[in-house]
Amino acid sequence: MIEPPQHIRRIVFLGTPDVAVTPLRALHEAGFDIALAVTRADKRRGRGTTLSPSPVKAAALELGIPVTTDVDAVLGVDADLGVVVAFGRLIKPHVLARLAMVNLHFSLLPRWRGAAPVERAILAGDEVTGVCVMAVAEGLDVGDVYRRVEVPVRPDETLEALRGRLVEVGSAVLVDALTEGLGAAEPQQGEPVYAHKIDPAELEIDWRRPATEINRLVRIGNAFTTHGQRRIKIWKAAVVPADNLEPGQVAGVTVGTGAGALELLEVQPEGKPRRSGVDWVNGLRLGADDRLGAP
């Protein structure tokens, strides 16, 4: 790993998903010469044979930036710095030994190192998260930090909304850091906490959990429960006072939990479009013994 220069004009960009597109465009609009974009290979979507580019590839081609899937290709480019945003792959040591790199990470490191920092912040009930511009080093998000900005997590904010705000803040911080010069980095302080990728099994609602915890799961998207043998996704809900309901028991659009209750505002029955909780409940004939999530 080498230290980045303080005057940065020519960069390479490494990223893949939608969240990396806004920083890429911000750097381009700020006048940085982006010599190369590195991203994942094109993928098939659905059952068709058509290959689709990553969001970063599509944006880079639109901006006239050359694209590759080979990380080693950056070694053949005369660049001052590599910029990494949600790339999804660790950078090999031999690359870091020849090109300094920084990473825009969507948490306040060392809390939530890893693949799903925004999701884990919501699930944990964090009231504050943020963004860091950090040095890329060997290991998972272990590098020293150049810039750090706190961002409050709004009550009932969804993953999409919070991530969108973090991307906007992070893009501005990244451009400022590279324009002004990175300066000295500071080692991460505190106990590391890891943001492991969300396992699909985690998205199934356990109605024995408190309503506040279940609502956090709903806020990150794709949370589901079952009624009989069919899945129902819960897209929007609100915590309400308990009404002497057992976990999973439904009264109108209110569902009992282990502590408090949850009002179902928007749901999606399996194989059907989204609808209001009221419309969904009105279409069911729930008996007193019916429970959501019951086997």
63 belongs to a structural domain = yes
Domain of residue 40 covers 10-194
Domain closes at, from 194, 218, 245: 194
pLDDT of residue 48: 67
One domain for residues 76 and 138: yes
pLDDT of residue 116: 97
Token pair of 271, please? 């194989």
Does residue 157 contact residue 75 with C-beta atoms inside 8 Å?
no
Going by the DSSP 8-state scheme, the letter that residue 209 receives in this structure is: S
161 belongs to a structural domain = yes
Per-residue pLDDT of the chain (295 residues; tens, 9 = 90+): 788 888 899 999 999 999 999 999 999 999 999 999 999 999 877 666 788 999 999 999 999 999 999 999 999 999 999 999 999 898 999 999 999 999 999 999 999 999 999 999 999 999 999 999 999 999 999 999 999 999 999 999 999 999 999 999 999 999 999 999 999 999 999 999 999 999 999 999 999 999 999 999 999 999 999 988 889 999 999 999 987 899 999 988 999 999 999 999 999 999 999 999 999 888 776 666 778 997 6
Q: How far is Cα 280 from Cα 278, in angstroms, rounded to an integer?
A: 5
Q: What are phi and psi of 156, to 5 degrees?
A: 65, 15
Chain-centroid distance of CA 245 in Å reads 34
Closest Cα partner for 136 from 126, 146, 148? 146
Does residue 11 contact residue 60 with C-beta atoms inside 8 Å?
no
One domain for residues 207 and 234: yes
Question: Which residue shows structure tokens 């979507």?
Answer: 45
Half-sphere exposure of 192 (CA within 13 A, CB side): 12
One domain for residues 57 and 145: yes
CB atoms near residue 62 (< 10 Å) = 11
One domain for residues 207 and 179: no
